[in-house]
Amino acid sequence: MTAKVDVLVVGGGNAALCAALMAREAGASVLMLESAPPEWRGGNSMHTRNLRCMHEAPQDVLTDAYPEEEYWQDLHKVTGGLTDEPLARLLIRESSVCRDWMRHHGVRFQGSLSGTLHLSRTNAFFLGGGKALVNAYYRSAQALGVEIRYQSPVQSLSLRDGVFEGVHCNGEFIAARTCVIASGGFESNLAWLREAWGPPADNFLIRGTRYNMGVVLRALLDAGADQIGDPTQCHAVAIDARAPKFDGGICTRVDCVSLGLVVNRDGVRFYDEGEDFWPKRYAIWGRLVAQQPDQIAFSIIDAKAAGRFMPPVFPGERAETLEALADQLGLPRAQVLATVEAFNQACRVGQFDHAVLDDCHTEGLEPPKTHWALPIDTPPYSGYALRPGITFTYLGVKVDADARVRFGGRASPNLFAAGEVMAGNVLGKGYLAGIGMTIGTAFGRIAGTEAARAALD
């Protein structure tokens, strides 16, 4: 039996680290339990690049302004209103004041690089990416005296009427005055994904950590914590089908969809590839591919697309003829030729401009391609097989503005949650680039402060 710490933090990603640092700075003793070994510490946070920040005027790496109202409207739109406005506004305001604190703990920012310039106004990029960010936080936490235990998966919680008592981990019962749960979603739990999605889930790839098994989330829900969100809601993008089952990260994303056409296993198109700018649409393609037979699709481009998108880590299949490309991708040749022919015939080419919603579109084609529709006619042709890549799930526990977990509508006096495990409070569906790290930073900082206050009171 370990001596009782003030604040126990469950998890080892951005939300957990923010909570641990804030609690320690407030004078509490802090113990952090991370499932992963040191070399895999940091959860999905280690794969990230940026966070979305409100600001009223240009600030170091952020251009122009991104005021609260515009941020709120963007969030409201992508979630279709499935968001808690007071919590969302709290998050947005917190995003305007966290960066000096982040710098103080060693995080460095950089301006947007080519391919991400459209985010220069809204998103602050981490120099060295999320890996550098979590490493900086771990260094700072160690220097401040946060106790960190790796390979320490929490198996169960001890709760009495919403009051936290302790956790079971590696055969030990660890008691604490307060606890912050920051153990991510359940995206790495393939059996739970299958429960939510059925057999198609077997073909999903997980873009991030293998350690977000949802064990603590399940324990909380079983113990009567109020649930938020639906198990099928998640962030899912189309990624290269050759990506590993876990931890492929951002380099497996295939970003040429809006420059060509996409067919399913049968060689048939199924969605408007040019519906909107790619940064606004990339996060719907995981779900679209998940709905296709065998959960596979193929992005086909011609030489005109070369150099217009960030190339994925694996080179695509390449051929001088569409027949050869279809063969290489294992697609029915005749149907692919018919699909491309129908598409080419339907193209009404105007002034091609990938930086605006241009007037190149199809006519009389179902589904249409509403922008950037150019005939696929210039060899060499390239193709990428796509699979649904799950980024993170939104099912979670309800919290209040102090990040306290709610049980039957009542806030727990000493149990808090931050990050993916409560993301569903503000993200009922859809996604805004960079808001995952904002949720973990804002609610991690709040949870750490409030947990320390509750423990030291």
Q: Which stretch binds ligand FAD (CB under 6 A): 38-46, 64-72, 90-98, 445-453?
A: 38-46
Residue 49 contacts ligand FAD per CB under 6 A: yes
Residue 34 contacts ligand FAD per CB under 6 A: yes
User: Please, which residue, 141 or 305, has the CB nearer to ligand FAD?
Assistant: 141
Residue 267 contacts ligand FAD per CB under 6 A: no
User: Please, which residue, 249 or 260, has the CB nearer to ligand FAD?
Assistant: 249
Q: Are 450 and 23 in contact (CB under 8 A)?
A: no
Q: To the nearest whole angstrom, how small is the minimum distance from the Cβ of residue 206 to ligand FAD?
A: 8
Q: Rounded CA gap, 324 and 342, in Å?
A: 19
**Which listed residue (140, 339, 391, 425) binds ligand FAD by CB under 6 A?**
391
User: Please, which residue, 250 or 340, has the CB nearer to ligand FAD?
Assistant: 250
Q: To the nearest whole angstrom, how small is the minimum distance from the Cβ of residue 152 to ligand FAD?
A: 6
SS3 labels along the chain: CCCCEEEEEECCCHHHHHHHHHHHHCCCCEEEECCCCHHHCCHHHHHCCEEECCECCCECCECCCECHHHHHHHHHHHHCCCCCHHHHHHHHHHCCCCHHHHHHCCCCEECCCCCCHHHCCCEEEECCHHHHHHHHHHHHHHHHCCEEECCCCEEEEEEECCEEEEEEECCEEEEEEEEEECCCCCCCCHHHHHHHHCHHHHHCEECCCCCCCCHHHHHHHHCCECEECCCCCEEEEEEECCCCCCCCCHHHECCCHHHCEEEECCCCECCCCCCCCHHHHHHHHHHHHHCCHHHCEEEEECHHHCCCCCCCCCCCEEECCHHHHHHHHCCCHHHHHHHHHHHHHHEECCCCCCCCCCCCEECCCCCCCCCCCCCCCCCCEEEEEEEEEEEEECCEECECCCCEEEECCEEEEEEEECHHHHHHHCCCCCCCCCHHHHHHHHHHHHHHHHHHHHHHC
Residue 209 contacts ligand FAD per CB under 6 A: yes
| x/- letters, 245..264, toward ligand FAD (CB under 6 A) | ----xx--------------
Residue 47 contacts ligand FAD per CB under 6 A: yes
User: Please, which residue, 362 or 391, has the CB nearer to ligand FAD?
Assistant: 391
Q: What are the two backbone dihedrals, phi and then psi, of residue 107, each rounded to the nearest 5 degrees?
A: -80, 135
Q: To the nearest whole angstrom, how small is the minimum distance from the Cβ of residue 401 to ligand FAD?
A: 18
User: Please, which residue, 42 or 267, has the CB nearer to ligand FAD?
Assistant: 42
User: Please, which residue, 25 or 420, has the CB nearer to ligand FAD?
Assistant: 420
Scan residues 164-193 and list those touching ligand FAD (CB under 6 A): 182-184
Residue 292 contacts ligand FAD per CB under 6 A: no
**Which listed residue (35, 83, 233, 264) binds ligand FAD by CB under 6 A?**
35
Q: Which stretch binds ligand FAD (CB under 6 A): 44-52, 68-76, 294-302, 363-371?
A: 44-52
User: Please, which residue, 208 or 274, has the CB nearer to ligand FAD?
Assistant: 208
| x/- letters, 211..240, toward ligand FAD (CB under 6 A) | xxx-xx------------------------
**Which listed residue (50, 122, 233, 382) binds ligand FAD by CB under 6 A?**
50
Residue 249's identity, in one-letter code, is: G
Residue 406 contacts ligand FAD per CB under 6 A: no
Residue 396 contacts ligand FAD per CB under 6 A: no
Q: Which residues bind ligand FAD (CB under 6 A)?
A: 10-16, 33-36, 42-45, 47-51, 153-154, 182-184, 207-209, 211-213, 215-216, 249-250, 391-392, 419-420, 434-437, 440
